[in-house]
Amino acid sequence: MNRRAFLKSLGTAVAAAPVAAPLLARDAAAASGEQLATLFDLSKCVGCGACVAGCREAHAADYPNPQKPFPKMYPSRVKAEDFSDKREVDDRLTPYNWLFIQTATVTRNGKAISLNIPRRCMHCVHPPCAELCPWGSAVRHDDGAVVIDANICLGGSKCRDVCPWHIPQRQTGVGLYLDLMPAFAGNGVMYKCDRCHGRVAAGGKPACIEACPNDVQTIGPRKQIIAAAHDLARQTGGFIYGETENGGTNTLYVSPIPFEELHAALQTGPGNPGLQAAADVMGKEKNLATAVLLAPFAGIAAGILRVANRARKAAKEDDHA
Amino acid sequence: MPKPLFPVWQKRLTLIAALGLALTGMGQMPIFSRYYIADLPGLSWLGNYQITAALHLALGAALVFLLTSYAASWLAAGRLRPTLTTAGKWRVTLYGAVALTGVVRVLQNGSWAMVGPMQVRYLDWLHLAVAMGLLAFAMAAGRKAAVAGRK
A304 in contact with B, Cβ within 8 Å: yes
Does residue A91 lie within any of the structural domains? Answer: yes
A281 in contact with B, Cβ within 8 Å: yes
Q: What residues contact residue A289 under an 8 Å CB cut-off, 6+ apart? A: A24, B57, B106, B109, B110
- What are the tens digits of pLDDT across the range A73-96? 999 999 999 999 999 999 999 999
B87 and B54 share a domain?
A: no
Those of residues 108-127 in A touching chain B at CB distance below 8 A are 126
> What's the confidence (pLDDT) of residue B10?
93
B94 and B51 share a domain?
A: no
Does residue B16 lie within any of the structural domains? Answer: yes
Q: Is A233 a residue whose pLDDT tops 50?
A: yes
Does residue B130 lie within any of the structural domains? Answer: yes
> What's the confidence (pLDDT) of residue A28?
44
**Domain of A32?**
24-295
B89 and B42 share a domain?
A: no
- The pairing of beta strand A146-148 with beta strand A138-140: antiparallel
Q: In angstroms, rounded to a whole number, what is the distance separating the alpha carbons of residues A119 and A263?
A: 13
Q: Is A283 a residue whose pLDDT tops 50?
A: yes
> What is the least distance, in Å, from the CA of A18 to any CA of chain B?
15
Q: What is the mean pLDDT of chain A?
A: 91
**Domain of B37?**
1-58
Residue B117: list chain A partners with CB under 8 A.
139-142, 147
Q: Is A20 a residue whose pLDDT tops 80?
A: no
Q: Is A30 a residue whose pLDDT tops 50?
A: no
Looking at per-residue confidence, does B65 or B7 come out higher? B65
The angle that helices B120-141 and B86-109 make with each other, rounded to 10 degrees, is: 150
Does residue B74 lie within any of the structural domains? Answer: no
Does residue A56 lie within any of the structural domains? Answer: yes
Does residue B78 lie within any of the structural domains? Answer: no
- H helices of B27-119, in order, are 49-76, 86-109
Query: What's the whole-number mean pLDDT along residues A192-207?
Result: 97
Those of residues 224-243 in A touching chain B at CB distance below 8 A are none
Nearest to A310 among B2, B109, B118 (CB): B2
CATH code, A280: 3.30.70.20
B2: confidence class by pLDDT, cuts 50, 70, 90? low
Q: What are phi and psi of A121, to 5 degrees?
A: -55, 140
Name the domain count of chain A.
1
> What's the confidence (pLDDT) of residue A3?
45
- What are the tens digits of pLDDT across the range A295-313? 999 999 999 999 999 888 8
- What are the tens digits of pLDDT across the range B8-26? 999 999 999 999 999 999 9
The interface pTM score, or ipTM, of the predicted complex is 0.92
Name the domain count of chain B.
2
Does residue B10 lie within any of the structural domains? Answer: yes
Q: What is the SS3 assignment for A219?
A: strand
Residue of B120, B124, B125 to mutate for A, most A C-beta atoms under 10 A: B120
Nearest to B36 among A75, A185, A285 (CB): A75
Does residue A3 lie within any of the structural domains? Answer: no
Residue A23: list chain B partners with CB under 8 A.
107, 110-112
- Binning chain B into helix, strand and coil, the percentages to the nearest 5 are 70, 0, 30
- What is the CB-side half-sphere exposure of residue A154 using CA atoms within 13 A? 19
The angle that helices A3-20 and A286-320 make with each other, rounded to 10 degrees, is: 140
Q: Is A279 a residue whose pLDDT tops 90?
A: yes
Residue A135: list chain B partners with CB under 8 A.
29, 121, 124-125
Does residue A309 lie within any of the structural domains? Answer: no
Q: In angstroms, rounded to a whole number, what is the distance separating the alpha carbons of residues B36 and B59?
A: 24
Beta carbons of B102 and A293 less than 8 angstroms apart: no
Q: Is B97 a residue whose pLDDT tops 80?
A: yes
A319: confidence class by pLDDT, cuts 50, 70, 90? confident
Q: In angstroms, rounded to a whole number, what is the distance separating the alpha carbons of residues A302 and B60?
A: 17
Q: What is the SS3 assignment for A280?
A: coil
A25: confidence class by pLDDT, cuts 50, 70, 90? very low
Q: Is A62 a residue whose pLDDT tops 80?
A: yes
Q: What residues contact residue A263 under an 8 Å CB cut-off, 6+ apart? A: A274, A275, A276
Q: What residues contact residue B135 under an 8 Å CB cut-off, 6+ apart? A: B22
CA A15 to chain centre: 33
pTM: 0.90
Query: What's the whole-number mean pLDDT along residues B79-88?
Result: 91
A29: confidence class by pLDDT, cuts 50, 70, 90? very low
Beta carbons of B107 and A293 less than 8 angstroms apart: yes
A24 in contact with B, Cβ within 8 Å: yes
Q: What residues contact residue A110 under an 8 Å CB cut-off, 6+ apart? A: none
> What is the least distance, in Å, from the CA of A9 to any CA of chain B?
10
Amino acid B125 reads W
Does residue A308 lie within any of the structural domains? Answer: no
> What's the confidence (pLDDT) of residue A26?
45
B31: confidence class by pLDDT, cuts 50, 70, 90? very high
> What's the confidence (pLDDT) of residue A1?
47
